[in-house]
């Protein structure tokens, strides 16, 4: 058994969000550059260039890429031989988020859903924990903006709709979203499971390196086909028309019920922020 | 060649703007997003005065990050506009001349723009750090309790915008994708 002080968890969460909000990953930057070379639309090229300029400036000045520094989504894989010491690990995570948003001058965007009362420190975070073998803790911070989150969709298809029905649902979600989710987007997809599981897979798929194909050859082929179909929609950067509507499609799947075919699409803007660390 | 325009905007100044034109906007504009729009329209319905006269003004759909010490403002890109569609026609009919945001608008807003000779500009969503460099000063003028959603008066210099919807039936969110659809 390995002991890990919760202060280390809190500090790791804090530094991951500080970095994620200001420094977009090389995975996204290289996709933006690649598409800048192939984009045919003048507005599309101008937007992609602005995004590259913006992302460089944000990193230089250590200011947020986007004013929507999101809800603080966290994935934690906790080794089953880990023992957290020093108090409540949940509180330590919230403390890390609170410090990151305060010290980074990030926006406090979190409020009660009905009364709309802002908590003013961007807590609570959205935390997904999973037990895994071993004695390490892997933490991924993925701040999620709501321009794209709002364009997400759950489709409870029937088995008769099959693979083509799944593909149509995914493309239709992107078409309906148009320019709203800040394209070029990353399209996160979860197929199977239950309703909530499908969306969690879709969300988790967004923590993959942007454009890295699925390890499942069938899903990887589906990702390639869907990316081409989505980019044929013509929506383009910011919805102003062009070839670059999506940078990547990421799909995860799991077993589902004989009566069902859930498909969740979690839309991610070009600020596809995610940083990980292992304790 | 980008055209320079100055807010508050005169109708003559923008009458010939067409969807797809690029402009550089300088002058005074006001931030306002979901919660502020709700309050503005509640006040209009109640017959109360607004915290600023919207005639000839431009509202920027934005909720900025807090400014770091020494900066005028934090990251400050546009938010998605359709959420303000429920409120925008009322403000347009009171004389609001320009809106800055991102994404498609409802038909009711398109009609309000045409009826009043207004304009809807697109700023680049997610370019919050870049856009902040166009903002020279910011001060809260209303609804301070709303935090980032308060109404701020911004002094901007050469803020790069694209005319997305004009008063003459032009709509870049329709024309643009149609040209590239396969």
SS3 A232: coil
Of B65, B148, B165, B76, nearest to A179 by C-alpha is B165
Q: What is the pLDDT of residue B2?
A: 79
Instruction: Please write the tens of the pLDDT for every residue from A92-143.
Output: 999 999 999 999 999 999 999 999 999 999 999 999 999 999 999 999 999 9
Q: Evaluate whether B57 touches B14 at the Cβ level (below 8 Å).
A: no
**Locus of tokens 């507005």:** A43
Strands A126-132 vs A71-79: parallel, antiparallel or unpaired: parallel
- Mean predicted lDDT score pLDDT of chain B: 96
Half-sphere exposure of A34 (CA within 13 A, CB side): 12
Could you tell me what percent of chain B has a pLDDT over 70? 99
CB contact under 8 A, A67 and B65: yes
Q: How far is A256 from chain B (nearest CA, A)?
A: 34
Residues 114-153 of A with CB under 8 A from B: 116, 118, 120, 147, 150
Mean pLDDT of chain A: 97
Which of A23, A171, A179 is the best residue to mutate to test the B interface, defined by the most B CB atoms within 10 Å of its own CB? Answer: A179
Task: Using pLDDT thresholds of 50, 70 and 90, give the confidence band for residue B1.
Answer: low
Q: How confident is the model at residue A53, as a pLDDT? A: 96
Q: Which tens digits make up the pLDDT trace of A42-100?
A: 999 999 999 999 999 999 999 999 999 999 999 999 999 999 999 999 999 999 999 99
Listed residue (B81, B175, B74, B93) closest to B121, CA to CA: B81
Task: Report long-range pairs for B22-25 (Cβ below 8 Å, ≥24 apart).
Answer: B22/B160, B22/B161, B22/B162, B22/B163, B23/B121, B23/B160, B23/B161, B23/B162, B23/B163, B24/B158, B24/B159, B24/B160, B24/B161, B25/B58, B25/B100, B25/B121, B25/B156, B25/B158, B25/B159, B25/B161
Cβ contacts of A233 on chain B, cutoff 8 Å: 177, 181
Which runs of consecutive H residues, i.e. helices, occur in A122-258? 146-149, 162-177, 195-205, 217-231
Residues of B in contact with A40 (CB under 8 A): 180
Residue A239: both structure tokens together:
């919805």
Predicted confidence (pLDDT) per residue in A230-239, tens digit: 999 999 999 9
Tell me if residue B37 is catalytic: yes
- Rounded to two decimals, the ipTM of the complex is 0.94
Cα A139 to Cα B112: distance, rounded to the nearest angstrom? 48
DSSP A122: -
What DSSP designation does A240 have? S
The residue assigned the tokens 């109708």 is B11
Query: Which secondary structure element, helix H or strand E, spans residue A21, and what is its range?
Result: helix A6-22
CA distance B25 to B158: 5
Domain residue spans in chain A? 2-20+65-144, 147-273
Using an 8 Å CB-CB cutoff, list chain A residues near B127.
Answer: 50-51, 53-54, 66
Burial label for A92, CB within 10 Å (0-12, 13-18, 19+), is buried
Query: Which chain B residues are Cβ-neighbours of A55 within 8 angstroms?
Result: 129
Residue of chain A nearest B164, judged by CA positions = A240
Q: A67 vs B66: CB contact, 8 Å cut-off?
A: no
CA atoms within 13 A on the CB side of B157: 4
Q: How far is B62 from chain A (nearest CA, A)?
A: 9
B126/A65 CB distance under 8 A = yes
Which residue in this structure is represented by tokens 């070839």? A243
Is the Cβ of A63 closer than 8 Å to some Cβ of chain B? yes
Domains and CATH numbers, chain B: 3-180 (3.20.130.10)
Q: What's the Cα-to-Cα distance from B109 to each of A134, B53, B72, B116, B117, rounded to whole Å?
A: 57, 20, 31, 11, 12
Looking at the DSSP assignment, which residues form a beta bridge with residue A154?
A: A264
Which pTM value belongs to this model?
0.95
Q: Please give the average per-residue pLDDT across B113-130, as a whole number.
A: 96
- Angle A176-A178-B18 from CA coordinates, rounded to 5°: 135
CA A77 – CA A94 distance, rounded (Å): 17
Residue the block writes with tokens 């994620």: A20
DSSP class per residue in B78-124: PPBGGGGTTTHHHHHHTT--EEEEBS---HHHHHHHHHHT-EEEE--
For residue B49, what are the contacts with CB-CB under 8 A and spacing of at least 6?
Answer: B43
- Interface A–B counts its CB contacts (< 8 A) at 159
Helix or strand run (H / E) with residue A57: helix A42-61
- For residue A244, the chain B residues in CB contact (below 8 A) are none
Using the predicted structure, report yes or no on whether residue A217 has a pLDDT greater than 80.
Answer: yes
For residues B163 and B165, give the distance between their C-alpha atoms in angstroms, rounded to a whole number. 6
Catalytic residue among B33, B37, B102, B105: B37
> Cβ A238–B125 below 8 Å, yes or no?
yes
Does A173 touch chain B if contact means CB atoms closer than 8 Å? no
Between A67, A108, A240, which is nearest B77 by CB?
Answer: A67
């Amino acid at each position: 058994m390995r002991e890990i002080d919760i202060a280390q968890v809190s500090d790791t969460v804090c530094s991951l969000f500080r970095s994620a909000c200001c420094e977009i990953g090389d995975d996204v930057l290289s996709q933006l550059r690649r598409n800048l070379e192939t984009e045919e639309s003048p507005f599309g090229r101008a937007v992609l260039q602005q995004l590259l300029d913006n992302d460089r400036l944000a990193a230089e000045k250590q200011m947020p890429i986007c004013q929507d520094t999101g809800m603080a989504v966290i994935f934690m894989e906790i080794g089953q031989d880990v023992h957290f010491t020093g108090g409540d690990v949940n509180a330590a995570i919230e403390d890390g988020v609170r410090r990151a948003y305060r010290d980074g001058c990030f926006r406090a965007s979190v409020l009660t859903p009905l009364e709309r009362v802002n908590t003013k420190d961007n807590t609570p975070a959205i935390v997904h924990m999973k037990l895994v073998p071993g004695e390490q803790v892997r933490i991924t911070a993925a701040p999620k903006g709501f321009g794209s989150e709002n364009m997400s969709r759950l489709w409870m298809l029937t088995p008769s709709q099959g693979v083509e029905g799944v593909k149509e649902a995914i493309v239709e979600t992107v078409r309906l979203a148009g320019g709203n989710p800040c394209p070029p987007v990353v399209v996160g997809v979860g197929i199977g499971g239950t309703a909530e599981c499908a969306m969690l897979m879709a969300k988790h798929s967004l923590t993959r390196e942007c454009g890295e194909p699925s390890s499942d050859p069938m899903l990887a082929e589906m990702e390639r086909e869907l990316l081409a179909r989505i980019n044929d929609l013509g929506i383009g950067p910011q919805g102003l028309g062009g070839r670059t509507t999506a940078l990547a499609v990421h799909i995860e799947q799991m077993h589902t019920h004989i009566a069902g075919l859930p498909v969740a699409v979690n839309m991610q803007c070009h600020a596809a922020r995610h940083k990980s660390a292992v304790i | 060649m980008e055209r320079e325009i100055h807010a508050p905007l005169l109708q003559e100044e923008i009458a010939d703007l067409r969807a797809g034109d690029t402009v550089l906007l300088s002058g005074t504009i006001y931030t306002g997003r979901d919660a502020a729009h709700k309050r503005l329209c509640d006040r209009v319905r109640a017959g109360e005065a607004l915290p600023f006269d919207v005639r000839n003004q431009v509202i920027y759909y934005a909720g900025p990050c807090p400014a770091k010490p020494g900066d005028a403002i934090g990251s400050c890109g546009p938010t998605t506009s359709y959420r303000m569609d429920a409120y925008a026609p009322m403000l347009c009919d009171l004389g609001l001349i320009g809106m800055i945001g991102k994404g498609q608008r409802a038909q009711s807003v398109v009609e309000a723009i045409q009826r009043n000779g207004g304009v809807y500009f697109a700023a680049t969503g997610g370019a919050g750090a870049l856009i902040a460099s166009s903002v020279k000063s910011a001060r809260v003028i209303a609804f301070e309790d709303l935090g980032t959603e308060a109404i701020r008066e911004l002094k901007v210099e050469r803020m790069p915008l694209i005319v997305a919807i004009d008063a003459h039936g032009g709509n870049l969110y329709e024309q643009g994708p149609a040209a590239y659809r396969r």
